[in-house]
């Protein structure tokens, strides 16, 4: 199964009763394993979680710590880029050349590297 298939398959499981904006994410870890996640809304909007964060949590729970590729799918007229928080979360586990594919259910696609998606990212090196 490729990342787009995995993200598409999981998207219908999103819990989005308020916005009806379902997002699916799939990441390929350095091990080759694919992890998925969905957005989970909460009536207190800031307390929800993004699909990318869910996929990262599944990856960590699965014992992997490095992301090699990311795919995110949403029903939207144009590809939806990862939110700022998810960009930073992805950066924690992905190098600057990691490809992030953002696509719509209609097949419109935007592909960027982590460096393009999050230029000048804050990282653990900044804490030294």
> Distance between CA 88 and CA 85 in Å, rounded?
5
The label of the residue with tokens 């190098």 reads 95
**69 catalytic residue (yes or no):** no
Whether 62 and 35 have beta carbons less than 8 Å apart is answered as yes
* Bridging pattern class, strands 67-74 and 109-113: unpaired
Whether 106 and 72 have beta carbons less than 8 Å apart is answered as no
- Which of 52, 69, 75, 116 is flagged as catalytic? 52
| Phi/psi at 103 (5° precision) | -135, 160
Both ends of the chain: CA-CA distance in Å? 40
Catalytic residues: 52
């Amino acid at each position: 199964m490729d990342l787009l298939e995995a993200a598409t398959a999981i998207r219908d499981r999103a819990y989005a009763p308020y916005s009806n904006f379902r997002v699916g994410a799939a990441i390929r870890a350095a091990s080759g394993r694919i992890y998925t996640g969905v957005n989970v809304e909460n009536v207190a909007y800031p307390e929800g979680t993004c699909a990318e964060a869910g996929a990262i949590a599944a990856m960590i729970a699965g014992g992997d710590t490095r992301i090699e590729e990311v795919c995110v799918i949403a029903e939207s007229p144009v590809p939806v880029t990862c939110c700022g928080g998810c960009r930073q979360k992805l950066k924690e586990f992905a190098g600057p050349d990691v490809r992030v594919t953002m696509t719509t259910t209609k097949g419109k696609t935007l592909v960027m590297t982590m460096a393009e998606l999050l230029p000048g990212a804050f990282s653990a090196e900044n804490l030294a």
